[in-house]
């Protein structure tokens, strides 16, 4: 009888996994994962201030950087560039900075503040460990991969993880009930 209860718990957990997986994938899509790294330094700058733009890992010879708060900048062959923020930029406003590598886009935020800029870089590093450079396919999860295969791998990982958790919870329920009844089988 207890085996039926454990099987029911695992089955209900599997149904929950199928229900939860699409929302987990939606969260993954919102993480701004790209096959190349990019950064804006500082992350907060005063109107009229200068920001440094960098990109790493784009196989194209150039990356185009656009924003509503400065003129378009082209980063050539992995070199950094700079942009001067419009003097009319309103303090407290957050602007989106778009890095375009052969049609693949990643975004960073730039906040406009009053006074001197603060050196807080916003780095989007492909999920790579510090010091890793172009061509390295390391990191966490599937962020270092490329394209459609990653979506399937993420789904598989999410469903597998939820099923493992469900199995562990089912086993915990069985053991708890067994202890509650004095260990009788």
pLDDT tens string 23-64: 444 444 455 788 899 999 999 999 999 999 999 988 888 999
Q: Are residues 71 and 132 in the same domain?
A: yes
Tens digit of each residue's pLDDT (9 = 90 or more) over 99-118: 999 999 999 999 999 755 44
- Spatial contact of 97 and 107, defined as CB atoms under 8 Å apart: yes
Cα 38 to Cα 100: distance, rounded to the nearest angstrom: 10
Beta strand pairing call for 44-45 and 104-112: parallel
Q: Are residues 49 and 131 in the same domain?
A: yes
Q: Are residues 67 and 22 in the same domain?
A: no
Q: Evaluate whether residue 185 is within a structural domain.
A: no
Q: Are residues 137 and 76 in the same domain?
A: yes
Q: Are residues 111 and 43 in the same domain?
A: yes
pLDDT of 31 reads 55
Q: Which of 42, 60, 61 is nearest to 51 (CA)?
A: 42
- Tell me, yes or no, if the pTM score tops 0.85: no
Number of structural domains (the chain) is 2
Q: Are residues 50 and 96 in the same domain?
A: yes
Cα 117 to Cα 46: distance, rounded to the nearest angstrom: 5
**Domain boundaries, position 113:** 37-142
- 137 confidence band (pLDDT: 50, 70, 90): very low
What pairs with residue 38 in β-bridges? Answer: 55, 124
Q: Evaluate whether residue 166 is within a structural domain.
A: yes
Cα 62 to Cα 50, 77, 78, 102, 158: the distances in Å are: 21, 6, 7, 8, 36
């Amino acid at each position: 009888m207890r085996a039926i209860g454990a099987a029911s718990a695992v089955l209900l957990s599997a149904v929950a996994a199928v229900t939860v997986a699409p929302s987990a994938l939606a969260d993954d899509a919102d993480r701004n994962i790209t096959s190349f790294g990019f950064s804006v330094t500082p992350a907060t700058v005063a109107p009229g201030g200068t920001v440094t733009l960098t990109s790493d890992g784009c196989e194209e010879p150039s990356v185009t950087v656009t924003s509503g708060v400065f003129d378009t900048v082209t980063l050539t062959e992995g070199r950094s560039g700079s942009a001067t923020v419009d003097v009319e930029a309103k303090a407290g406003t957050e602007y989106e900075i778009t890095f375009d590598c052969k049609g693949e886009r990643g975004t960073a935020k730039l906040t406009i503040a009053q006074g001197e800029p603060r050196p807080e870089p916003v780095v989007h590093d492909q999920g790579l460990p510090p010091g890793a450079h172009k061509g390295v396919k390391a990191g966490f999860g599937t962020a270092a991969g490329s394209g459609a295969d990653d979506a399937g791998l993420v789904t598989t990982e999410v469903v597998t993880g939820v099923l493992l958790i469900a199995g562990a919870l089912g086993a915990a329920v069985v053991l708890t009930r067994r202890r509650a009844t004095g260990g009788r089988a």
